[in-house]
Amino acid sequence: MRETTSGCQGCRDSAPLPFDFTMAFHPIIDLTRGVVWGYEALVRGTRGESAGDILRQVDEERQYKFDQACRVKAIELAGRLFPASEDTRLSINFMPNAVYEPAACIRTSLETARRVGFDMKRIMFEFTENERVADTKHVARIIREYRRLGFITAIDDFGAGHAGLNLLANFQTDLIKIDMELIRGIAGSAARQAILAGILVIARSLDITIIAEGVETEAELATLKSAGINLFQGFLFARPAIETLPTVSFAA
């Protein structure tokens, strides 16, 4: 729960996390321009452990500390790895339920970006629909504050979680990432294609950009391109690389 009177426990607790982690980077492709639009930072263990192995160690008491540490690690690595002359974005996952006060909890991210010289307007914060949102008004406040500061915002795993279209009724992000379960097998599924078409109509009416994630086959890509999607993410283009930028294959 959020504390509203004397600041959050996470802000006061300076104890380090009892485990180490790092980040892998996975590209988001703009096929219209043939460039890498951005990279998503994905949690990994320092010895290559999966995100699940790390996340299992994050209990409720460590949520805030872990969320802040992930932001710092991702921005520091991006400041070192991303070409300064380009506008390549950094996408960071965040936990809405770990943000106590949007203006206060973003300070560490802002300070880290300034310290490493990374333009904060190149940072996208995405939250997953899979995380149950207990307070939609609070999430709306987070999104408004982040957009006011110049960050890009996104809903990850759209169509896979608890709230579905109710999220868009309460707040609108800059982007939506279509969940891979809808993408899988879409080339041969009229139902999946119809659902995607409906999401695209809603997104365009709200001026929201779509990213198709989890693209693995040429058939999936062809179907998504025909639907009018320009931004893609998935193993078809590259696999995540730990503390480095992977080589990207721009599929036809």
Q: Residue 6: is its pLDDT beyond 50? A: no
- What pLDDT score does 222 carry? 97
Residue 3: pLDDT over 80: no
Confidence label for 1 from pLDDT (cuts 50, 70 and 90)? very low
Closest CA to 75 of 124, 26, 109: 109
Position with higher pLDDT, 90 vs 1: 90
Q: Residue 185, by phi and psi: left (phi above 0), alpha (psi -120 to 50) or beta?
A: left
pLDDT at residue 209 in the model:
97
Higher pLDDT, 226 or 84: 226
The bridge status of strand 231-233 relative to strand 22-30 is antiparallel
Q: Are 94 and 127 in contact (CB under 8 A)?
A: yes
Q: What tens digit of pLDDT does each residue of 121-178 get?
A: 999 999 865 555 567 788 888 888 899 999 999 988 887 655 567 778 888 899 999 9
Task: Report the pLDDT value the prediction gives residue 61, as an integer from 0 to 100.
Answer: 83
Burial class (CB in 10 A: 0-12, 13-18, 19+), 175: buried
Q: Give the residue extent of every domain in the chain.
A: 30-181
Give the CATH fold of the 30-181 domain.
Answer: TIM Barrel (3.20.20)
